Amino acid sequence: MRSSKFHLLFHFHYWLLWTSIGKLGEIKLAGLSVNAQKEMGSMSSAKFYSIPEGKGPYSVGCTDLMTDHTIQGSFFRLYYPSQNGTSCEETKWIPRKEYYRGLSDFLNVYRMLGETVFQYYVGSVTCPAKWNAAFKPGEKYPLIIFSHGLGAFRTIYSAICIEMASRGFIVAAVEHRDKSSSATYYYKENPVSEAREEVTENWEEEWIYYRKLRQGEQEFPLRHQQLQQRTEESIKALDLILDINSGKHVVNVLPLNFDWTLLKGSIDSDRIAVMGHSFGAATAIETLSKEARFKCGIALDAWMLPLDDQVYSRVHQPLLFINSEKFQWASNVLKMKKLYSTGTERKMITIKGSVHQSFPDFTFLAGTFVGKIFKLKGEIDPNIAIDISNKASLAFLQKHLGLEKDFDQWDALVDGEGHNVILGTNIDLPSTQPEPLE
């Protein structure tokens, strides 16, 4: 059954075991990032095994926002155009060891083993955005809400989010609390003690880990239920950011020194898009169907299973599908095609030589051998693949958000023109297409 693939967001369960054996047995493998680079002893390879910088004219800053300490609150990582010289600190890619534990659970690896290996290989990885750098006011920026895939969390699509921010977007990467992420957290209150005067001292972290399917459990009911929560969280993030834009005071539960008042009047509330990968792409589609403030959407290698049949007639905004060559299959693509029946513009392209993991950051941190064996890399250079995806996204956003930029130079990619792109899909589809929706 193809459905088993959906549970393997990173497709490197066996990589983890392999590199663990290598580490414990002093067998050196060019696995991931910083320590792998040291083992290889090459400065050129060290540069290669890193998350790519944004190519646009804006410096990029990054911060986290958690409002309302309860599980009903909002939690996202914000990428934004920043002022130069206000921070020299790179952003830690995976900020807490609990995320290693969550990834280990997700991949069915013992936590102690998984945490040790993740810490060794990616514990020192940073992404090229300045942590808590001051926001750059003075312009009206379009907004993107980004939804992560199954088993992911808010930090691991930083290459995409940083590129969008470097081009003049504000991007909020939501961390979903529906038990589809590897790990996330909120705060719960301890019983109030008379000796404690500060309210925050009575809070303690409560971690939520990935919820696996139970034996014999049908997948659709769980995923559809999670989809509804994901959609609510995406819309809630939009509401929160627009409140900040209007000047409403925001209290960040996290102890971060970031001036949110600089965002007042800096977001173009008429130019808002939603974007996501895999389960996050399904979330983007569902969000479009429920919230008209999103003017368009981008679905990266969408997994359509969580969507019910009612959604296809309810999405009236333009939608771009960017698919990998190796992940898709006929029934999934046919569900995408159902969305064409509303008469609104739909575009679909496929990136040649790409895999499902060509969109998250892990593809940039894996060596060529390990990356291809364990499906973290395709035949195409990951930097070329993400460049195609980002440029096609920017061209589509310019057209449907009415931006006055130069992103239309990449319009040909949206039309499937180029050495590494295919218009539509590489999958052979049945000759009978889905009937139009009434």
Q: Which positions are annotated as active-site residues? A: 278, 301, 356
List the structure tokens of 359. Answer: 């969109």
Query: For tokens 């804006």, what's the residue?
Result: 58
Question: For residues 421 and 388, is the Cβ–Cβ distance under 8 A?
Answer: yes
Say how many C-beta atoms besides its own lie within 10 A of residue 279's C-beta. Answer: 28
Letter string b/e over residues 299-314, b meaning 16 or more CB atoms within 10 A of that residue's CB: bbbbbbbbbeeebbee
Which residues contact residue 201 at a Cβ distance below 8 angstroms, ignoring those fewer than 6 apart? Answer: none
List the structure tokens of 195. Answer: 């000796």
The DSSP call for residue 256 is -
Between the alpha carbon of residue 206 and those of residues 86, 197, 385, the distances in Å are: 33, 22, 37
Question: For residues 233 and 240, is the Cβ–Cβ distance under 8 A?
Answer: no
Question: For residues 12 and 109, is the Cβ–Cβ distance under 8 A?
Answer: no
Task: Report d(CA 280, CA 157) in Å as an integer.
Answer: 11
**85 burial via Cβ count (<10 Å: 0-12, 13-18, 19+):** exposed
Nearest residue to 279 via CA among 60, 106, 72? 106
Letter string b/e over residues 208-228, b meaning 16 or more CB atoms within 10 A of that residue's CB: bbbeeeeeeeeeeebbeebbe
Tell me the DSSP string of 322-366.
EEETTT--HHHHHHHHHGGGGSS-EEEEEETT--GGGSSTHHHHB
From its phi and psi, is residue 37 left (phi > 0), alpha (psi between -120 and 50) or beta? alpha
Task: Report d(CA 175, CA 64) in Å as an integer.
Answer: 10
List the structure tokens of 255. Answer: 């102890």
